[in-house]
C-alpha cells in the first residue's frame, strides 16, 4: 500500500529545521508493507494545508501529517483540519487530565493556551501523547485515513509506536515490502556498480538494487515486494548473499547501520575494550561509540589531545617529534595510540592526527591529511589518508576509516567476525 507524508511548518522551508521525522516514518512504515511514495513540506498556511491534503488524497488513501500543533499562534493545523472536515471542537477529558498532571509535576501554572491543547475536532479519534502536550489525531472519513501528529521527534515517535502502528494493523491489509542493506566503506559507487553489473541482471522484476553513497560509504539496498512475506524473505536472503559475495571485502556490515555502530556492538558482544587519543577528530569517534547503549562495558574513557603540550604531557609524545616530523605524522600517531592503550587499560586503541582545516595547512601537509593509528597488545600500525569536505565531513570520513582498521584488528587478532 502507498502512503504520503505532509510536514507543516515554515521552519522546514526556510531551512531552520532539518526534517528527520519523515525518514523515521518512512523506515518504520516499510515494515508494515506501506511505501511512502511522496513527502511534501508546506508552510503554516490554511490554503496550502487544505490543497496539499486534497491533492494527496487523489493519489493515496493514507496520509500522515506532522507539525503545526504547538500552543502558539503560528500553529494552525488543528483549526485547519476542523475546517477541512467541517466539524466543531470538543475539549477532551483524557487530555485535560494528562495536561494538568504535566503542569503539576513541573510546578508550572497552566495558561489558557495550554488548556486549549485539549481541544480537538469532534470527528477525530484522539491519539494520546504521554511525551508532550499536543495529542495526535486520527481521521477516518470516506475511506481515507489522515493522521496528524506533533513535529517534535520524540513525541511523533511515541504516538506512532503506541497509537498508530496498532491501528494500521487493524485498518489496512498490505503486501510485504522488504529491504536488505549492506554498507561498504572506501569503494566508489561506480566501481561497485561495475562489479555488480552481472548480478543486477539476475534480479527478477520484483527485486531492485539501489546505491546510496554518503561520504566514504555506499549503502547497497536490495528491495523486494510480494504478497507472500515468508517466500520473499527466503528469496531475497539468497540474492543478498550473492550480492555480498560479489563485493567481497568491500562489505563492511550486512545491515543498515553505520560502521561505528557496528564496531561498537561487536566490541560489547566480544567484551573487547577500546580507547582513543584523538587530535583532529576532536572526540567525534569516541562520542559516536559512546552513543551506543551498553558501551560502558568496553569503554573506560579516552583523551582529546588537541594541543602539542597535551600530546607530550598526557601521552608521552617526545618533544623532538614536534620539532622534526611534526604532530601530523606517522610517528606521532603511533605514540598516541600506544599511550592511549595503556592509559585507559584498553585492548584496542585508535589515534588520529591531521589537518581538518580550514586553517593549519602547509605545502607538505594539506587540509585533509590524516594519520590514523591503531594499537593492540601485539603492537601498532598507522595508515595515512587524504580526506575531503568540511570539518564535520572530515571527522565522519576519518571515523569510517578508523573503524576499518578496528574491524581488521578484531578479525586478525581477536578472531571476531
Residue appearing with cell numbers 510536514:
7
Q: Angle, to 10 degrees, between the axis of helix 259-270 and the axis of helix 391-414?
A: 30
Q: Please choose, out of 90-98, 244-252, 264-272, 280-288, the segment that lies near a copy of itself by the rule CB under 8 A.
A: 280-288
Report if residue 38 touches a copy of itself, rule: CB under 8 A.
yes
Helix (H, G, I), strand (E, B) or coil at 144: strand
Q: Are 352 and 330 in contact (CB under 8 A)?
A: no
Q: How far is the CB of 187 from a copy of itself (least distance, A)?
A: 11
Q: Please choose, out of 48-56, 141-149, 236-244, 408-416, the segment that lies near a copy of itself by the rule CB under 8 A.
A: 48-56
> How many CB atoms lie under 10 A from the CB of residue 110?
15
What part of residues 345-404 is at the interface with a copy of itself (CB under 8 A)?
Answer: 345, 357-360, 388-393, 395
What part of residues 302-341 is at the interface with a copy of itself (CB under 8 A)?
Answer: 302-307, 309-310, 314
Nearer to a copy of itself, 280 or 409 (CB): 280
Q: 247-271 burial, b if ≥16 CB within 10 A, otherwise e?
A: beebbbbbeebbbbbbbbbbbbeee
Q: Please choose, out of 31-39, 88-96, 118-126, 334-342, the segment that lies near a copy of itself by the rule CB under 8 A.
A: 31-39
* Site size for a copy of itself (CB under 8 A): 102
Give the integer Cα–Cα distance in Å for 335 and 339: 6
Q: Please choose, out of 70-78, 243-251, 258-266, 405-413, the segment that lies near a copy of itself by the rule CB under 8 A.
A: 70-78
Contact mark string toward a copy of itself, 195..234, x via CB under 8 A: -----x-------xxxxxxx----x-x-x-----------
Report if residue 35 touches a copy of itself, rule: CB under 8 A.
yes
Query: How buried is 128 (Cβ within 10 angstroms: 0-12 exposed, 13-18 middle, 19+ buried)?
Result: middle
Q: Are 286 and 276 in contact (CB under 8 A)?
A: yes
What part of residues 144-183 is at the interface with a copy of itself (CB under 8 A)?
Answer: 152, 154, 179, 181
Q: Are 184 and 247 in contact (CB under 8 A)?
A: yes
Rg, the chain, Cα only: 26
Nearer to a copy of itself, 100 or 140 (CB): 100
Report if residue 23 touches a copy of itself, rule: CB under 8 A.
yes
Amino acid at each position: 500500500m502507498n502512503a504520503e507524508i505532509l510536514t507543516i511548518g515554515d521552519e522546514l522551508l526556510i531551512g531552520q529545521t532539518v526534517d528527520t521525522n519523515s525518514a523515521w516514518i518512512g523506515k518504520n512504515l516499510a515494515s508494515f508493507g506501506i511505501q511512502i511514495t511522496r513527502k511534501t513540506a508546506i508552510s503554516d498556511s490554511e490554503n496550502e494545508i487544505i490543497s496539499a491534503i486534497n491533492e494527496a488524497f487523489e493519489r493515496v488513501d493514507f496520509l500522515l501529517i506532522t507539525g503545526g500543533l504547538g500552543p502558539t499562534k503560528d500553529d494552525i493545523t488543528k483549526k485547519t483540519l476542523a475546517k477541512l472536515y467541517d466539524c466543531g471542537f470538543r475539549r477532551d477529558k483524557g487530555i485535560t487530565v494528562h495536561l494538568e498532571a504535566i503542569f503539576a509535576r513541573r510546578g508550572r501554572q497552566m495558561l489558557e493556551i495550554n488548556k486549549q491543547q485539549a481541544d480537538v475536532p469532534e470527528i477525530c479519534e484522539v491519539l494520546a501523547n504521554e511525551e508532550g502536550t499536543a495529542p495526535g489525531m486520527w481521521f477516518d472519513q470516506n475511506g481515507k485515513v489522515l493522521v496528524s501528529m506533533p513535529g517534535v521527534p520524540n513525541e511523533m515517535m511515541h504516538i506512532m509506536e503506541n497509537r498508530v502502528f496498532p491501528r494500521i494493523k487493524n485498518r489496512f491489509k498490505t503486501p510485504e515490502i522488504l529491504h536488505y542493506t549492506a554498507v561498504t566503506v572506501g569503494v566508489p559507487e561506480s566501481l561497485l556498480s561495475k562489479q555488480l553489473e552481472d548480478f543486477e541482471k539476475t534480479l527478477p522484476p520484483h527485486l531492485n538494487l539501489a546505491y546510496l553513497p554518503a561520504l566514504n560509504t555506499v549503502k547497497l539496498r536490495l528491495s523486494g515486494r510480494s504478497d507472500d512475506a515468508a517466500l520473499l524473505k527466503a528469496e531475497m536472503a539468497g540474492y543478498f548473499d550473492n550480492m555480498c559475495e560479489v563485493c567481497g571485502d568491500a562489505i563492511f556490515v550486512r545491515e543498515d547501520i553505520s560502521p561505528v555502530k557496528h564496531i561498537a556492538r561487536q566490541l560489547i558482544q566480544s567484551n573487547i575494550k577500546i580507547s582513543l587519543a584523538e587530535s583532529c577528530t576532536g572526540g567525534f569517534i569516541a562520542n559516536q561509540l559512546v552513543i551506543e547503549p551498553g558501551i560502558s562495558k568496553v569503554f573506560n574513557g579516552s583523551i582529546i589531545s588537541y594541543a602539542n603540550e597535551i600530546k607530550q604531557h598526557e601521552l608521552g609524545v617526545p618533544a623532538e617529534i614536534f620539532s622534526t616530523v611534526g604532530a601530523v605524522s606517522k610517528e606521532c600517531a603511533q605514540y598516541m595510540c600506544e599511550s592511549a592503550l595503556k592509559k585507559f587499560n584498553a585492548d584496542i586503541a585508535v589515534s588520529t592526527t591531521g589537518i581538518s582545516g580550514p586553517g593549519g595547512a602547509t605545502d607538505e601537509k594539506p587540509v585533509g591529511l590524516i594519520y590514523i593509528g591503531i594499537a593492540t597488545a601485539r603492537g601498532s600500525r598507522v595508515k595515512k589518508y587524504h580526506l575531503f569536505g568540511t570539518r564535520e565531513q572530515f571527522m565522519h570520513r576519518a571515523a569510517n576509516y578508523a573503524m576499518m582498521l578496528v574491524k581488521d584488528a578484531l578479525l586478525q587478532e581477536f578472531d571476531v567476525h
